[in-house]
Amino acid sequence: MNHILPNKLKALYALPLAAAVLPSCSQGGESEQQRPNIIFIMTDDHTTQAMSCYGGNLLQTPNMDRIANEGIRMDNCYATNALSGPSRACILTGKFGHVNGFTDNACRFDSTQVTFPKLLQAEGYRTGIVGKWHLISEPQGFDFWSILTGQEEQGDYYNPDFNENGVAIQEKGYATDIITDKALSFIDEATSEGKPYCLMFHHKAPHRNWMPSPENLGIFNDRVFPEPENLFDDYSSRTQAASSQDMSIASTLKEDWDLKVLTREEILAGGNRLLGVYSRMPEEVQHKWDSVYAPRIAEYRSGKLKGKELVSWKYQQYMRDYLATVLSVDQSIGRLLEHLEKNGTLDNTIIVYTSDQGFFLGEHGWFDKRFMYEECQRMPLIIRYPKAIRPGSTSNAICMNVDFAPTFLDFAGVDIPEDMQGRSLKEVLENEGKTPEDWRKAAYYHYYEYPAEHSVKRHYGIRTADFKLIHFYNDIDSWEMYDEKADPREMNNIYDDPAYSAQRERLTALLRQIQQEYGDTDPDERERVLFHGDRRFIGRSK
């Protein structure tokens, strides 16, 4: 019925419909005709293994868990390309990278494209983005933006620089706190105007090089985290793509940047990458930093750590820093929820928490992402909106980051452009996570950034409920296939296993069909043409 109603009428219709489905969830006192606010929280590189609501045993994330417990946890949400810029471009446009033109981090986003914030803005929403943007061109479709700049737009953890509606500014403090302050003041302004709003609330954390806040510096230094059972993976049965990457805990983590085993004197002497970020910290924080990292430096230099023991040790240091930055994000979400509760708008706000992609926390011996393996292809996705979502729901529906744009438009009662390639999740969310009959059977993936940092070969593939099929191409031509139920850690490549030949044929046919459907049929050829995306570093192409 929705598609024959004009937008405004649809918006009015949407809520009573949801309320009819979930009578116990409707909120007394608030106007049922109010269009929902949308707060889209996205972190950078936060993975489900580091969220207690996804069963992770590394740390507690009570505020994220609250969103999941009072809303829905999506268990099969996938990035279409596990890299920041590409994921963000898919989210804004509802289209895959080969269509929106942003295929790797060397691209510049064509901001003249239709995006969901532009459409919401045109329908009376106040729109804002705070934090990481990473798409290089200036944001369009936002009434307010304050986006991180520097280090090729990754921004800084301490005293970060921003582009705020076109003006360069530097803020004092810790990025996660500052971005939260900006989010809350946007919310206050929009709320006082009485307009519905859409806020993209995008943290830098927990991106490399994992610098904790002053309060959380060293907070996990007494903890020993469980190692993933495949920390010492030997890649047997996998293709050369797995063994030729450069993202291992054993050898890729840098002493200065990642492990932080430099003394103050060494940092200040220069010739290291820490100097730039260390000198942004106030002196008292530098001193806390020095004392927190001193025992680590001593241990590292004791000469006692060798071989596997050294790798295990590096894993612990990596976890301590990464998880400490996650803790600040969880605290930020706590602040947000409390703020909305106090101003009375919590239940009329769709709160989404996700990350641009997942991340390896030592699985296969790695950090970083990029591969179409489960840990980083999977995105966390939890959503709270009691007017439509029954608290405590979970869902196995296969969704992708291209679904977010149509979902937000749908909830706002705004027409979804026909050329958006994702599908609205509204129906799934309103039905306690049940997968509709005609839902897609697979998530599509395509990674392009090679040759480049971390040396992950170009590849594409599909993930169904039970299997994964991957084709690595460009300077290799090799396939991997996994039985996800029998082998969730993806250790056993069954592509050439005769017992799976029927499934292999079926999956290959499905992959080709999906590529036809999405118009992604000739990856090598398309790479030469470079469509309407504008690249900054030509060197990263062929």
Q: What is the size of the binding site for ligand SGN (CB under 6 A)?
A: 14
Of the two residues 105 and 393, which places its CB atom closer to ligand SGN in the complex?
105
Return the one option of Ca ion, ligand SGN, none that residue 280 interacts with (CB less than 5 to 8 A, by type): none
Can you tell me which of 11, 26, 44, 156 binds ligand SGN, judged by CB under 6 A? 44
Q: Are 90 and 96 in contact (CB under 8 A)?
A: yes
Residue 26 near ligand SGN by CB under 6 A: no
Structure tokens at 525: 């050829």
Determine the Cα–Cα distance for residues 94 and 101; give it in Å rounded to an integer: 12
375 binds ligand SGN (CB under 6 A): no
Q: Which residue in the set 126, 204, 454, 504 belongs to the binding site for ligand SGN (CB under 6 A)?
A: 454
Q: What are phi and psi of 442, to 5 degrees?
A: -155, 155
Segment lying near ligand SGN (by CB under 6 A), choices 207-215, 303-311, 379-387, 406-414: 207-215
Contact, 196 vs 125, CB < 8 A?
yes
Query: Binding residue for ligand SGN (CB under 6 A) from 45, 65, 330, 375?
Result: 45
Q: Does 368 bind ligand SGN (CB under 6 A)?
A: yes
| In the complex, least distance from residue 349 CB atom to ligand SGN, rounded to whole angstroms | 27
Q: How far apart are CA 210 and CA 259, in angstroms?
A: 10
Contact 412, 4 (CB under 8 A): no
d(CA 200, CA 35): 17
**Residue 530, Cβ density class (10 Å: 0-12 exposed, 13-18 middle, ≥19 buried):** middle
Least Cβ distance, residue 367 to ligand SGN (angstroms): 8
Instruction: Select 197 or 210, whichever has its Cβ closest to ligand SGN.
Output: 210
SS3 61: coil
- Interface with Ca ion includes 104 (CB under 5 A)? no
Which string of DSSP letters, residue by residue, matches 230-244? TTT---TTS-HHHHS
- Write the binding mask 225 to 264 for ligand SGN: x where contact by CB under 6 A, - elsewhere: --------------------------------x-------
Backbone angles phi, psi at 273, to 5 degrees: -80, -15
Q: How far is the CB of 326 from ligand SGN (least distance, A)?
A: 15
368 lies in the site for Ca ion, by CB under 5 A: no
One-letter amino acid of 397: A
Residue span binding ligand SGN (CB under 6 A) among the ranges 136-144, 203-211, 292-300, 524-532: 203-211
Question: Distance between CA atoms of 77 and 85, rounded to whole angstroms?
Answer: 18
Q: Cβ-closest residue to Ca ion?
A: 84
Residue 453 contacts ligand SGN per CB under 6 A: yes
Alpha-carbon distances of 440 from 79, 277, 397, 432, 464, rounded to whole Å: 15, 45, 8, 18, 9
Q: Is 439 in the site for ligand SGN (CB under 6 A)?
A: no
C-beta closer to Ca ion: residue 44 or 449: 44
> For Ca ion, which is the closer residue by CB, 46 or 387?
46
Residue 368, binding choice from Ca ion, ligand SGN, none, Cβ under 5 to 8 Å by partner class: ligand SGN
Query: What residues from 74 to 103 belong to the interface with ligand SGN (CB under 6 A)?
Result: 83-84
Tell me whether residue 14 or residue 106 sits nearer to ligand SGN (CB atom).
106
Q: Could you tell me which residues are beta bridge partners of residue 61?
A: none
Site for ligand SGN in 115-154 (CB under 6 A): 134, 154
Helix ranges (H only) for 423-500 are: 426-430
Q: Residue 50 carries which side chain, given as an amino acid letter?
A: A
Torsion of CA 136, 39, 384, 12, to 10 degrees: -120
What's the token pair of residue 527? 């790479």
State yes or no: residue 325 binds Ca ion (CB under 5 A): no
Smallest distance, Ca ion to C-beta of residue 425, A: 22
Q: Applying CB under 6 A, does 401 fall inside the site for ligand SGN? A: no
The residue range among 46-54, 202-210, 426-434, 521-529 that interacts with ligand SGN, by the rule CB under 6 A, is 202-210
- Closest contact distance (angstroms) between CB of 154 and ligand SGN is 6
- Which 8-state DSSP code applies to residue 257? I
Q: Token pair for residue 342?
A: 């106090």
Query: Which partner in ligand SGN, Ca ion, none is near 454 (CB below 5 to 8 A by kind)?
Result: ligand SGN
Which tokens hold the place of 9?
A: 């009428």
Q: Assess 449 for contact with Ca ion (CB under 5 A).
A: no
Query: Using CA of residue 257, residue 263, residue 264, residue 267, what is the dihedral sign?
Result: negative
Q: Name the binder of 105 from ligand SGN, Ca ion, none, CB < 5-8 A by kind.
A: ligand SGN
Spatial CB neighbours of 302, under 8 Å, sequence gap ≥ 6: none
User: Which one among 70, 347, 356, 368 touches Ca ion, defined by CB under 5 A?
Assistant: 356
- Give the three-class secondary structure for 180: helix
> Kindly report the CA angle at 493 between 489 and 494, in degrees rounded to 5?
120
Total residue length of the chain: 542
Largest CA distance in the chain: 72
Sequence-separated (6 or more) residues with CB below 8 Å from residue 499: none
Q: Which does 257 bind (CB under 5 to 8 A by kind): Ca ion, ligand SGN, none?
A: ligand SGN
**Does 45 contact Ca ion by CB under 5 A?**
yes
| Least distance to Ca ion, CB of residue 376, Å | 9
Report the residue from 11, 15, 18, 44 that binds Ca ion according to the rule CB under 5 A: 44
Find the part of the chain contacting ligand SGN (CB under 6 A) among 116-124, 206-214, 324-332, 531-539. 206-214
Packing angle, helices 283-301 and 307-342, rounded to 10: 150
Which of the listed partners (ligand SGN, Ca ion, none) does 345 bind, with a CB threshold of 5 to 8 Å by partner kind? none
Instruction: Compute the least distance from the CB of residue 480 to ligand SGN, in Å.
Output: 21
- What is the sign, positive or negative, of the torsion defined by CA atoms of 426, 429, 431, 434? positive
3-class DSSP string for 192-218? HHCCCEEEEEECCCCCCCCCCCCCCCC
Residues 72-101 touching Ca ion, rule: CB under 5 A, are: 84
Binding site residues, Ca ion, CB under 5 A = 44-45, 84, 356
Binding site residues, ligand SGN, CB under 6 A = 44-45, 83-84, 105, 134, 154, 207-209, 257, 368, 453-454
